[in-house]
Amino acid sequence: MALSEFQLIDRVFAARAAARADVSLGIGDDAALLSVPAGMELAVAIDGLHAGIHFPEDTDPKAIGHKALAVNLSDLAAMGADPAWATLFLSLPHPDETFASHFADGFFSLAERFGVALVGGDTVRGPLCAVVQAHGFVPAGEALRRSGARPGDGIYVTGTLGDAGAGLGVVQGRLDIAAPDGDFLRNRLDYPEARLRTGRALRGVASAAIDVSDGILSDLGHILSQSGVGGRIEIGCLPRSEVLLRTLPEPDGINLALSAGDDYELCFTVAADHEPRLQSLAEGLECPITRIGRIESESGLRLIGPDGRIYACDGSGYDHFKGTDNGRDDGDH
């Protein structure tokens, strides 16, 4: 059913926004009024998703709502911040309550899990697009930055890499992987998990962190350049899901794990002194963590194959995607 902008905001968004003690005024006025607790810094991240660029056109609206928030919570996780508030810019071709309420189901079920309050936004008519700004708190001086990696630090990732990229291949018909494996991969593309618990646990442990939105080669590259260091990755250590291992022959699975985006795992570095502490934390985390390499003083990233030799990878990603704009047209998140 078509609704006015105000009915849509009231019925779909204001009605479901969570209350928080640090929100003096939420949805409904010209601006929200919010309080940052003493001793905390405010971490702010914004990321938008455009139909056909950041998600396939036929994506379930519930998944779009989830992912629009999840990619921003992932940025907060990579800073070691605890999420608190979100604002939402939603552009819809039609003021369609069915679409908006499914979008809201995905958005709010994730928001509720992490105690995030939606405190404002803007709703307009236009091409389908959702932009979320997420706000979180981190104790002053303790945020995880990209710039802190030092030679000798271990390089780690959470979870598994390459699943979301394979999911995109399935959606676009470039990979023929039947259910249930194809569904698992698509689910990894549509419903990324922000590694908030891990990010928080890494305060005081990790020397640098980033979330893997554009592929580990690209995202680890940001840590290396901002830290002024280089590093090596042991290709054989890259964590891959059982599904990816059994459905994609080499070297495609490895290349996806290196270069495909949308996994939203965390990549972080830990000084050798802190590695025993990391091991003792690992059991309490929401997903496994794997050491994939080490930071070195020599600049550049060296990929080491299982035979101990340099692994040749052109860094531009998965061969199946060549000539098809790499499967996505934007390149960046």
Structure token digits, residue 293: 């390499």
Question: Distance between CA 206 and CA 229 in Å, rounded?
Answer: 16
Kindly identify the residues of this chain, within the stretch 108-147, that bind Mg ion according to CB under 5 A. 122
Q: Which does 121 bind (CB under 5 to 8 A by kind): ligand ADP, Mg ion, none?
A: ligand ADP
Q: Which does 120 bind (CB under 5 to 8 A by kind): ligand ADP, Mg ion, none?
A: ligand ADP
For residue 79, which phi and psi values (nearest 5 degrees)?
-95, -5
Structure token digits, residue 46: 């914004």
Q: Which residue has the tokens 């922000």?
A: 194
Number of residues located near Mg ion, criterion CB under 5 A: 1
Number of residues located near ligand ADP, criterion CB under 6 A: 13
Least gap, CB of 124 to Mg ion (angstroms): 8
Least gap, CB of 3 to Mg ion (angstroms): 16
Least gap, CB of 93 to ligand ADP (angstroms): 15
Residue 213 labeled ligand binder: yes
Residue 211 labeled ligand binder: yes
Query: Who's near 113: CB < 8 A, 6+ residues apart?
Result: none
Kindly identify the residues of this chain, within the stretch 86-145, that bind ligand ADP according to CB under 6 A. 88, 90, 118, 120-123
- DSSP state string for 178-242: -TTHHHHHHHHHHSPPP-HHHHHHTTTTEEEEEEESS-HHHHHHHHHHHHT-EEEEEGGG----H
Q: Are 27 and 13 in contact (CB under 8 A)?
A: yes
Of 21-29, 170-178, 179-187, 315-323, which part binds ligand ADP (CB under 6 A)? 21-29
Least gap, CB of 45 to ligand ADP (angstroms): 17
Longest dimension (CA), the chain: 63
Residue 4 labeled ligand binder: no
What are the binding residues for ATP? 121-122, 146, 213
- Judged by the rule CB under 6 A, the positions of this chain that interact with ligand ADP are 9, 13, 27-30, 88, 90, 118, 120-123
